[in-house]
Amino acid sequence: MGSDPRRGRLVELLGPVVAEKGLDLEDVKIVPAGRRRLVRVIVDRDGGVTLDDVAEVSQSVSKRLDESDVLGTGPYVLEVSSPGVDRPLTEPRHWRRARGRLVKAEMRDGTTVEGRVTGTGESGVELDGTRRIAFDELVRGRVQVEFNRPAEFDDAFGGDFDGAHDVDDTDDEG
């Protein structure tokens, strides 16, 4: 199934609107829904997105879409939300936002690795406080659902994950 050719134009149009609100535009999807189209705009930022953030950016995105001709004249429904836990971790910012979470990572060599994200840096991610993996070695990761998350991780990585640390990239081995 091919992607809608308007997607690229929507990303260009909406990226600055979303950035102006201090958020990252993660994705835009156009889904047929009967006589209308559903326009899904996914936004995120470090520390997460609140309902107030979503409401504010929804108004700005809606206004910008109405001023534009990118969707033509047909009716559409706008849905603005944050990514779910099932979003693949493919960008450094996704890994940074997963600090404190248990993840399963697919490696370029075909293997998989599981561990808790304990740090991130410019060049890679640290799992379980001991294993550093360069971003270019990773294909993607997925946050694992934990029904009985250990209490020490809630304390160490609670809220905005203040307990997590940045990986010092200066002494990475080649």
The CA distance from 102 to 149, in Å, is 9
Residue 138's CB is within 10 A of a number of other CB atoms, namely: 19
Distances (CA, A) of 119 to 6, 9, 29, 104, 134: 37, 35, 31, 15, 12
Per-residue pLDDT at 74: 82
pLDDT band at 3 (very low <50, low <70, confident <90, very high): low
Angle at 107 between CA 130 and CA 111, to 5 degrees: 95
CATH homologous superfamily of 6-81 equals RimP-like superfamily, N-terminal (3.30.300.70)
* Range(s) within the chain of domains with CATH label 2.30.30.100: 92-171
Mean pLDDT computed over 105-125? 94
Q: What is the pLDDT of residue 2?
A: 47
Asked whether the CA dihedral 128, 130, 135, 137 is positive or negative, the reply is negative
Indicate the CATH number for domain 92-171. 2.30.30.100
Banded pLDDT at 153 (limits 50, 70, 90): low
Element housing 9 (H / E): helix 6-20
Gap between the Cα atoms of 134 and 79, Å rounded: 35
* Among the ranges given (66-80, 95-109, 145-159), the one the predictor scored with the smallest mean pLDDT: 145-159
CATH 3.30.300.70 domain position(s) in the chain: 6-81
How many Å apart are CA 125 and CA 102, to the nearest integer? 13
Pairing of strands 76-81, 102-107: unpaired
pLDDT higher than 50, residue 12 = yes
